[in-house]
Structures are given as C-alpha cells and as structure tokens.
Chains A and B, each alone.
Chain A
Amino acid sequence: MTSLTSEHTMRTGVATKLKSHGGLIALGLILVFNIIVTPNFLHTQTLAVNISQVATIAIVAMGMTLVIATGGIDLSVGAVMALSGALAPLIFMSEFGQAYPVLGLIGALFFPLVAALLCGLFNGVIVAVLRVQPIIATLILFISGRGIAQVLTNGNLQTFSYPEFSYLGTGKILGFPFQGWLALAIACFLFWVVNRTVFGRYLLAIGGNERAAKLAGGPVRRVKIGAYVICSILSGLAGLIVVAINSASDAARNGNLMELDAIAAAVVGGALLQGGKAPIFGAILGAVIIQLVKYTLLANGVEDEVALIAKAAIILAAVYIQQARKE
C-alpha cells in the first residue's frame, strides 16, 4: 500500500516536473540534437545569427504575453511592424531628414513608435471601452494596418544605406547582436513591471478574474489599454529592427505572419490563453525554441515547408500539455 502510494506520488511528481519544465526540456533536447547532428553548431557565428533572428520574435512575443495575460490576443502586431517599418525610411529619407541628419534619425526612431503607440491605443480602447472581443478588435488593424503602410510607400520597396539607423539591426556589443541585448533589457524591465508594480499586479488579476478585479476597484480599462499599447510599441520596435537588418523596408513582407510566431512563442513559453499568467522569460524561451527548430530543420537541409508543419506540431503539443496541467 505504502509503496503504491509513494510510487504514485513519484510518478505524478515526474509528470508535473515534465509539464512545468516542458519548455526547458524541449530546449535541452533540441540543443543536444544540434550539437550531435548539425555541423558547426557550436560556433559563435551560429549563435550570433540565431540571436539576431530570434530578437524580433522575442520582443513581439513579450508584448503578446502581456496582452494574453489579460485574456486577450493581438493579431495586429505584424501590421504594426509593417507600418512603423515603412514610416522610418520615409522620415530619414525625406528632405528634412537629409538636411538635418541627427533630427532625422531621432524622428525616424520616435515617430514610428508613436504611430505604433496610437495603434495600441486604438486596439486597447476598442477592447476595453467598447468591449469588443480582442480577436475582432485587432482584426481591424490586422487588415488595414498593412494597407496603410503600403499606401504610404505606394507599395514600393524602400532601400537605403544609413549605417547609423542600421545599427539597430546589425550593430554588435561584446560580439553579440545589438537587438539581442535590447531584447534582454526589455525582458528585465517587463519582468520587473509584471512582478513588482501595481500595473503588473492588476494585469495578472484581470486575466485571472476580470470581474473580481473590477469589483476590487482595479483600473481594469487602463491596465488593459496599457497592455495593448506596450504590445504595439514593442511590435513597432521590432518592425524598425527588421528594416534595419535588411537596410530596406518592404511593407508587404515586414512582420508577415509575425502574429502567429509571437502567439506560438508566448504559448510555448507558458502563457495561458485564458489569461492570468505573464511569463516574460517564458516568451523568450518560446521564441528561442521556435527559432531553433526552424534553424535545425534548415541547417539539416529540411525544406522550409516542413518547418511549418513542425511549428504546428510544437504549438499543439505545448497547448495540449498546458490543458492537461490545468485539469
């Protein structure tokens, strides 16, 4: 009898551990697999390439995590990336930007983020004040945001050579890509916000039980709007980074399907779709896993298309485990 019980606890103990650290275990497996199979995997260049690619996904995924924590979702992140990415070259390549390069550079970093902020405000107000479902509310900008970007650029590819701006995507600090450090800094800041500020407390409370949070006198509307605004600003930043990496802005492709990657990364990282949890570093873990799976398949000559199917399988597995844990 006793042995049975202890065996049972042991087994559930292992199962719980497996579930709560599933992401880390998956990451470990992918790393071990790569070290054995993929040629030149343990190379600083491989690391740098992966960091520069994962940073944008991670930055957007952290914003998405905040939105998901309120029980919402933001489909417009890719469109916001396209919009801010289209605005930046328009500003520093304008006559004013050419005449005053410093002001042009500041403007090219500032105004796209303001535009992103306004997008977030738009989403947040529709969700929190008009009480429209998040999928639909953010669908509006998903559809029209990229359209606005394309109207602004007339659908043209904007190419430029502007080292100061491109630093955002190609610069290196201590040998690692600048945007990697940026993502890390944002993660530390958001971790502090979620765990140590009133805003963060209410964020989790709203996702846990919105009505209770409201009855407790919480500023539900403002916190919700705040989550969408942060998510949009981070998306705008990611859009700038993508443009900086490519030294070109293509409104049709910038951030295309990013909403899927970001949602997948957030969910793999442990964000509950019902809300109430905001694992910021989990989002980074999720982004790293998704990036590494993509890289592993590509580096071993597997087609891009199959990588899509692998991504689908990862998302399903992550959520299935999540559901099992809840029950």
Chain B
Amino acid sequence: MSRLEAKKPSFCRSEPLTSERVRATLSVLKGIVTSCYGPAGRLKQLHNGLGGSVCTTSQSAALLANLPVTHPILKILTTSVQNHVSCFSDGGLFTAILCCNLVENVQRIGLAPTTVIKLNKQLLSLCTSYLKSEACGCRIPVNFSSTQILLCLVRSILTSKPACMLTTKEINHISTLILRAFLLIIPENAQDHIILGKSIIVPLKHQRVIDSTVLPGILIEISEVQLMKILPIKKSDSFKVALFCVSLSGDLSDTGEGNVVVSYGVSLENAVLDQLLNLGRQLVSDHVDLVLCQKVIHPSLKQFLRTHHVIAVDRVGVAVMEPLSKVTGTRPIGSLDSISPSSYGSVKGLCTAKFGLKHFFHLIPNEATVCSLLLCNRNDTAWDELKLTCQTALHALQLTIKEPCVLLGGGCTETHLAAYIRHKTRSKPEGILRDDGCTQTELQLITEAFCSALESLAGSLEHDGGEILTDGKYGHFWSVQADSPSVVNWPDLLSRCGCGLYSSQEELSWSFLRSTRLPFVPQTCLPCEATGSASNLTLDCFTAKLSGLQVAVETANLILDLSYVIEDKN
C-alpha cells in the first residue's frame, strides 16, 4: 500500500560562499586534493567504519568516488571533477586544485561576481587560444616515428601515481608494456578513419610487477578442472571458431504471453536436447574446432563435442563477446538450427597458458587489434591503483593520437602560462577588456588571482618543504630542496626544471615563485633541438589538461555565481 506523505519544506540559504562553514569545508577539500598531487604526493587511506576494503590512493578518480560529500557546493565541485575524469581519465587533481584555488583567490578580492566571471572567461579564452596556437611555448608536437615522447608521457603518468608502489625499474617495464599494448590495438592498414581496437586488462594479483606482460589476442580464464577436460590441442595453423550468443543449455525459449499446455508423456527436454545434438552434428560436419558460448552449454552437448575433438568453452560472459567476435571474425550465432557457414570465424593459434596460479586459454588472432595486458602487482589495493593508472595512460595515448601534441609537465606549463597571461594583460589590456565595462584595475586584480591560482597549483607539486623558483626567460618551474643555504649560487643548487627541458647551465635569473616579480615576455616557440635532445621529459596529455583547465574555470565561475542554495530535505 502506498502512503502519502507531505513533503518537508526545503532549506534555503542566501550567499552561500560568505559563510564560514563553507569556506572551511572548501579549504579542507583543497587540503586533501593538494596533498595528493604529483609524484611526491601523499597517499590517502580511505576506509569505511562499517566494513569493506581499505583503499590506499592518491588518484582523484578513486579518492572522489569514495569521499562522501554533503555540502551542495562541494558536490558541484567534485561531480564536475569526476565527470572530467570519466571523460579524459587524466587531470582530475589538476582540475580540482585549480578550481579550489580560483574560488579562494577570487573571494579574497571581493569584487562583484559579474565582473569576476566575465574576466575569468576572458582569461580562460586567452589561455586556450595560446595553448592551441603554434607559438605556444609549452607544447610539443608528437612525432609518431619515434616512441620517445609517447614513452615519456606514459612514464610521467605512472610516476605521478605514487600509490602504485613501483620502483623505477618497474615503472620502465610497465611503461613499455603499456606502449606496446597501445601499439597492438592500432590497425595495420590505416585508412583516413582509424578505429582503435581494445586492450583487455587481465588481473594477476600477488605477483611481481616485473612478471606483467602483454599478449596479442584474448585470454579466457578457465578453471583447472576445465583444463583437464580439454584435450591436447592439435597442431594446425588455423582453427575454425563458432561463437554463440544464445544459450545452449536446452532451456525452452520465450513461449509467449499465453499458456503452453504439454500433454502427459511428452518430454520437451528430450526434444530440445535432440535439437542441441543436431546442432552439435552440424558443427562437427562443418569442421568447427572451437565452440565458444556466452551462456551455458548443456553437458551432453559438451560431451558430444569433446568426443568429436571439438573444444567447447562456455560462460565467457557478455563483456568479451565483442572483442571475441573481433578477434575471430565470427558473427555471434543466435540460432539453434541451420547455421550459416558465413558465421564461422577462425584464429591462427590456440594454446593453454599458465600465469601465476591461473590457467588461461589463449586465442591468437590472424590479424586483429585486440590484446591482453596481464597486470601484476603485490596486493589488491596497489593492483587497483595500477589498473586505473594503466587505463589512464592508455586513454591519454588515444587522446594524443587524436590531437598529436603534448604539454610540458612538472609544473612548467602552469608557471609559463601564468607568466604569459601576466605579460598579456599588462601589455595589451584593451584587447581583453573590449566593451565589457570593466576597469583596468579590476582586470589586474583578477589576473593576479588567476595567475596565482595557476602558480600555487604548480607549487603544490612540492610536498617536502622545498622552495619553488621560476626563471625569467622561459617561465619554467624549478624546485630547490629544503634546508638549502639562503644565499647561494642558484645554478649549483638547481639541476633541471620541472619538465626536464632546460638545465641550470644557462643564466636564467631565477626568483622565488611567491615573491613579486616584474612581468616578462616568456619565450614562446619551443626550439626544435630542445625537444629532440632531452630524453627524459615530464609530459602531460594535451587534451585532458586543456579540458581540465576549461572545466576548472567554468566550475569556479559557477560556484562564484551562486546566490542561493536550496536544499531539498526529503
């Protein structure tokens, strides 16, 4: 019985950002995300007092998914970051920190929201047009003839996730694997429209990371009992495969809305089984070597097939159906009788393999864009983290194919961008202001807030009390270890900038990031030899970072624009 209940009135608050509680919660969230950022980021342990596993992470995807947020404003912030992550995988913490910084900085100024939002938008479009332009000084075009830059990109992503618990050697190993897995899914005969294949991550927990490997084709996990039943595979260079999406268990299919009356003595089971055995006979006569079924195969049919030297594997599940049909070139069969010969496919090789404690059935394709990445790590949480990281890296590589360029990482893009904006707003304020009805002072204030948000974002890469410097030529990011003597010769202390592009051999007039500096013209247009020579760069995915920047500013604008919060208490 339904019960009618009067709705409780909602709770309405005006000017939510001015409240002390909101500020406090925002700064707590900022503290959490900031401390996770970068290779030296601190790990967070999330555990539910009511049970469940403990999650150790420093990734925004895992962190925000498990973090319960109650305040609507924080909810807006976290959902927008999560949506960004689900689109681009990378750059979640970047987005979250930048958004928090912007909100905090702008609030400190206390200008009218209208002006702030207008100017923030102007500055954002300045950033995006600069990053997209050829003259951009923090963008490197990707040359696909060498894997150097792609490998650097993957390595940067792996390094920035300390919760994976990888050593340098392991990072190198995994990065090569990821890159190989990625190259395997690119079709060989590339037309103008590339359809990428799929790399399936196969879990292998409690193994050494070094044991991870990548294989072309598909691995289907089978139990040891099943393995015993599978006869030794005959030597051949081609195996005929039939893939069923319909159940072969002998259950009666949908009989309609009316009743079906079965007379006494009529056994439908036998009838259906007869049908199945007929199907088996047809398969045998068509010389099928391997029968795969998404659902269950009737034991009698299995037995029948085995006696005729046909390998039958059932319960493969819906997830692998698409890759399976791609690998084998079959059309999933939905009929129990009369199979069209065109539905069969083939594989080059079949073998059983043992990785760790698990047995797999390995389908080696003729030429297909599916590969399996066997991923090992010591424990569950570290494996989960590593899996997420691998997915992120694979996604970043895909995005890089679409937009063939990368951004400098390690905080250099942020400091460079801040220097560029400072310079632009100082030298050509008219171009930005146009007819918005804002004054130059307002523009300078907002620019300062925007740039310091970017710079403190870069600054949050440093967690060990070190100092952060920036140079007066390229506007890059340099960090000094803590406890260094105060008056020093900078080149002795510094070695390379954050991204690793420049070394301290040149005189670059360093200064502290926190101190006030004169605006300068950061050198645009990267010299080609610079990108070629440096072998170990820290790089970021271009598309993900650009979109993260846009989402962060848009979300900050949204939050700043709020005048009321109406909470539904039902």
Please determine whether chains A and B interact with each other in the same assembly: no
Chain A residues at the B interface, C-beta cutoff of 8 Å: none
Chain B residues at the A interface, C-beta cutoff of 8 Å: none
